[in-house]
Amino acid sequence: MKEYVLKGLSCANCAAQIEQDVNKLSGVISATVNFMTSTLQVEINKEFSGDIQKVIETIVHHHEPEILVIDKKALSKESVIIDDDKYKWKLTKLISGAMLFTVGLVVGNLFDLSFYVTLPIFLISYLLLGGDIVLKAMKNIVRGKFFDENFLMSIATIGAFAIGQVGEAVAVMLFYKVGEYFQEFAVRRSKRSIAHLMGIRPDYANLKKDGGITKVAPEDVKVGDVIIVKPGEKIPLDGVVLEGEAMLDTTALIGESTPRKASTSDIVLSGCINQNGVLTIKVTQIFGESTVAKIINLVESAASKKAPVENFITKFARYYTPVVVSFAVLLAMIPPLFFGGMWSDWIHRGLIFLVISCPCALVISIPLGFFGGIGKASRKGILVKGSQYLEALNDLDTVVFDKTGTITKGTFKVTEIQSANGFDKDELLEIAAYVESYSNHPIALSILQEYGKEITKDGLTEYREMAGYGVHVKVTGKEVFAGNSKLMTKMDIAFNETEGLGTKVYVAVNHVFAGCIIISDEIKSDSYRAIASLKSKGVHKTIMLTGDDPQIAAVIAKEVNIDDYYGGLLPHQKVEKVEQLSEKKRTKGKLAFVGDGINDAPVLAMADVGVAMGGLGSDAAIEAADIVLMTDEPSKLAEAMDIAKLTKRIVWQNIIFALGVKAIFLLLGALGVASLWEAVFADVGVSILAIMNAMRVIRS
C-alpha cells in the first residue's frame, strides 16, 4: 500500500475525479482519496511497472496543477497539511475585491455615472475576485477538462458580462468566492481537528543510555530500551513501569478525563500524558507498533472505507454536472431558435443552470459528516475503521457477545479445589500449576496465582496444547492432562463431573483422574447497562457465545438479560454459529460480534460489524475488527450507535436539502423567475449551510 499527501487539495469534486482516474490505471487494485486529510492511498499489484508517484502526479496535475504529490514516508510528522499563507492571500484578495465592488455600486448609484465609467472598477474587482478562477478554467480547457466549477463559474460570469449584466456578473463571482472561503474555512477547521488528534503523537523520547539521558525520536527507540517520562510529557512508547509513580491523563486515548494511576510493574500506553512524578519505563513495542501509532493510522485511514451513500453521491456527481450543463445549453438555444423571444433572456436562464450545476454541496458535506462522526467516536474512545461500518451500526439487528473479557471481567480466581483418587488438594494444585506454567490464558494465570510458588520448568517435557480441549505435558516423567470435560472423554479417562459453578479444569495423571479445580469469573457492571441500552435502541436479539461450560453461560446470560446463549463451543464452532445466526437475522439487518479481539479474530472478521473490546494491545483486534472499543466497556457500542444515528440523520438532511433547493432553483431559473444571485445561493449558499450542518457532528 502506497500513501501520498496531496498538498494544496481544496476541491472535493476534484478529489473524487482524481480517485476515479487513479482507479482506472492498469495495475492499480484500489485507490482512495481522503479529502479530509488530503491523502491518497493506492494499492498496486506486482505487475505494475514504472514510477507510480510520477503517474499519479500526471493525473493529479491534470485536475489541479498546483497540487504537490508527496510520499507520506518522506514526512516526519502528520499528513494533515494546512497552508496558512495561501489562505491569508485568498482572504486579502476577497476583501479587496468586495470593497471595489461596493465602491462601484455606491459611486455609480450616487452620482448616476455612466456604464463605461463604472465598468473599469467592476472589471478590476472581478479580476481580483475571479481572475484565478478564469485562469484555471483556461488551463483546464487546454488540457481538455470541462465541467469543473472553474469552467462553470467563468462561463456564467463572462456570459453575464456579454449580455450587459456587469454588476450581476461581479456579484455572482463575489458570492461564489465568499462561499468558497466559508467552505474552505469549514474544511480547514475539520483538518485542524484531525491535526489536533494527531497531536497525541509524541515528539521525542528521553532514552536512558550509558548513565545519561538523550532526547531521541520515538522511532529510534528499540524494544527493551529504558526511557524516562517527566511530568507534563507524553509517554512516547508502550512499556512497563520499572520505577516511579504518577497519574496519567488518558483523555486522548479512551475519552475519559479521570486520571489513572501508574506505578511499578504497570503497563502504560503511548499517548498518555504524565501529570506528575517521574516514570522509568521499559519499552515493549517499537513506535510503529505502539498504541498511539495504531490510533493515528486508524483515524487517518478511516475515510478510505466509504459508506454506500458516499459511493452513490460520487457516482451521482459524475453524471449530474454534464446533464445540467447540457440542459443549460438547450435552454439557452432551443426556445429562441424555435419559439422566439430575446436571446439575452434565454442565455441568462441558461447561465443560471450553469451556476447551479456544481455538486460541491453534496461532495463536500457528506464525507465531512461521516468524518465528523468518526472523529466524534474517536474522542469517546471508539475507533471506527471506516464510514461504511459507522453506517452499518444504524441497522444492527443482532449483537453476539463473547463471554470472557467482554461480558465478564476475565479476571479469574480459583474458588474451589476438588481432589480425587488419593490426591490431596495441595498436590492437585501444584500439578495443575506446573501444567499451566507455559500458558498466558487468564485461567492458567489464576491457577498460577493461587499456587503462588516459583515453578522450575526443568522437569516439563512434551508440552502440547490441544485447541478446544486443554493441555498435555509430562511432569517429571508423569503424563498429565489438564482441560475441560471433553478432554477427559477424548482421552477415555474416567472422571467425576462436578456440579460446581465456574470454569472447571479437570486434571488426570497417568490416565488417573486427580480432581477438578473450579475458577470463577466476575460479570462487569457495565454489561448490564450495555444490554439494556442496545435493546432500547432497537437491537432485536442479543446472544452470548463461549467455550465455557453451558451451565455457567446460562447463569450469566440470565443475570445480564441476554436473550440466548451457546456454551461449550470450540473456536471453529463459534464461526459456524455466527454464520447460522447471520442467516436468521432480519432482512437488511446487520450482525455485530463483540469479542476481546485476541482469540476471536476469525469471528470478528466474518461478522457484518466486528467489534473488539479493549483491543489496543492486540494486533489481532486491530487487524480483524471494524470497530475497536478502547476501554473494556461494552456499553460503548450503544454510544457508537447514537453517533451513527446522528451522522446518518445529518447526511440525509444534507442530501435532501441540497438536491431539493437545487431542483427548485433549476425550475425557477428555467421559468425566468430566479436571478444569477439566487442561483449562487442555490450553489454556494447550499454548500455553506450543508457544511455547517455536517459540522454539527464534530461540535456535538
- Residues forming the active site: 402
Three cell numbers written together for 525: 457492571
Q: How big is the chain, counted in residues?
A: 700
The H or E element spanning position 157 is helix 149-162
Q: Are 654 and 694 in contact (CB under 8 A)?
A: yes
Whole-number Å distance between alpha carbons of 501 and 94: 74
Three cell numbers written together for 158: 463572462
- Spell 77-91 as b/e; 16+ CB within 10 A means b: ebbbbeeeeeeeebe
Q: Which amino acid is at 463?
A: Y
3-state SS string over 621-664?
HHHHCCEEECCCCCCHHHHHHHHHHHHHHHHHHHHHHHHHHHHH
Q: Which amino acid is at 523?
A: I
The closest alpha carbon to 619, from 285, 201, 268, belongs to 285
Residue with cell 471506527: 384
The closest alpha carbon to 72, from 2, 132, 153, 11, belongs to 2
Distances (CA, A) of 338 to 331, 333, 334, 342: 11, 9, 6, 12
Whole-number Å distance between alpha carbons of 492 and 653: 65
Q: Are 105 and 29 in contact (CB under 8 A)?
A: no
Distances (CA, A) of 74 to 167, 290, 519, 646: 48, 20, 52, 37
Q: Are 620 and 601 in contact (CB under 8 A)?
A: yes
CA angle 429, 435, 440 (to 5 degrees): 105
Q: Are 683 and 360 in contact (CB under 8 A)?
A: yes
